[in-house]
Amino acid sequence: MTGVPAQTRMEAREPTEARERTEARERTEVRERTEVRGLRGPAAVPGSRILGVGAHRPARVVSNAEVAVAIDSSDEWIRRRSGIATRRFAAPDESVVEMATAASLKALAQAGVAPDAVDTVLLASMSQLEQSPPAAPRVAHRIGARAAGALDVGAACAGFVHALATADSLIRSGNSRHVVVVGSERMSDIVDPTDRGTAFLFGDGAGAVVVGPATEPGMGPVVWGSAGDRHEAIAHSRPWPVPGAPVAATPTLRMDGPAVFRWAVATVPAVARAALGAAGVAAADLAAFVPHQANLRIVDTAAAALRLPPHVVVARDIVRTANTSAASIPLAMEELLARGAVPRRGLALLVGFGAGLGHAAQVVALP
């Protein structure tokens, strides 16, 4: 400002400096109003682990021969396409809630955890036909965890691993101490028995675990993701009708089998390797590989791609139980433990994948 008297320059600066002081004071006042002093956070713990596993399998065993009649097929064709020999269908009184309750109580008994010590119940299901009220609060009530927080997890066949990872985070953060994670499905309610692409694949059942605190991590980091651009590969045949509209037919599950197969055999090995890396372990450190029981061909292809050592047990519960969506991983895990096929505290690689399309994988220590 050459040629301008010093007094004039000072007068020009004063309004600007005053405005800056006012703005700074206002920012300080806002910060002081919004700061929360003395807030106590939850007490974090070093890790979490699975304490117990439980399962509920309906009594009714359905053979391929029974399913094949409505789809003009055969036992041989179904076995060749999927590896499935039998599946279970729930009785009228075996609802998603009832089966989840039965499996959860068995898991609590094995874990030695009292129901009133459960802080949270997470229910994964894609076949609960009621959108509201959610099913998890009813499960919590029926198992005796009547003060627990409870919510449904809607991630279809990958839902159990999504819920398990959530339980791990809840416990490690100190927001929960004991969490029941349950997958429960009545797939027979949402599958068209005359649809040649899906009728033979699915079954009913429930599997649950109890997760609690540990002095060291009993679960590795979750590796998950989605491919929403492929959502139509596994979807209902039509949207649910708008209120007041006539119901021509109930929507049922449909699947583009070849597209899902190609996606799964590419995705499952990749996400499985990522989960191993995130957990800092190698395939040789595993006791078991427990993928979602979608199709025996997918299970075997993924296991081969991972080059698992001979000692790693591969879950093949699909042969007797079929695809039970969110229930398949805990059911398969319980089956391995029940027959002593894997050691206690051995490491298991879990991989869920399915509608969405979505996937989630995690290495866990077995109870």
* Catalytic status, residue 292: yes
Closest C-alpha to 156, from 290, 330, 357: 357
* Catalytic status, residue 175: no
Task: Give, in order, the Cα–Cα distances in Å from 54 to each of 158, 184, 195, 333, 345.
Answer: 19, 12, 32, 9, 16
Q: What is the DSSP track for 291-345?
A: E--S-HHHHHHHHHHHT--TTSEEP-THHHH-B-GGGHHHHHHHHHHHTT-S-TT
Question: 298: which 2 tokens?
Answer: 């997918």
Annotated active-site residue in 56, 64, 323, 359: 323
Q: What residues form DSSP beta bridges with 353?
A: 359
* Omega of the bond leading into 133 within 30 degrees of 0 (cis): yes
- Contact 181/122 with Cβ under 8 angstroms? yes
Closest C-alpha to 286, from 328, 355, 347: 347
Q: What is the DSSP track for 170-185?
A: HHHTTS-S-EEEEEEE
Residue 260 CB-half CA count within 13 A? 23
CA distance 106 to 207: 9
Annotated active-site residue in 56, 162, 178, 292: 292
**φ, ψ (nearest 5 deg) of residue 15:** -60, -40
Measured in whole angstroms, the distance separating CA 353 from the mean position of its chain's CA atoms is: 9
CA distance 161 to 270: 16
CA distance 83 to 227: 27
Q: What is the DSSP track for 227-294?
A: -GGGGGGEEESSPPPPTTS--SS---EEE-HHHHHHHHHHHHHHHHHHHHHHHT--GGG-SEEEE--S
Radius of gyration of the chain (CA): 26
Length of the chain: 367
Annotated active-site residue in 64, 157, 178, 295: 157
Q: Which stretches of 118-240 are DSSP H helices?
A: 136-143, 159-172
Residues classed as catalytic: 157, 292, 323
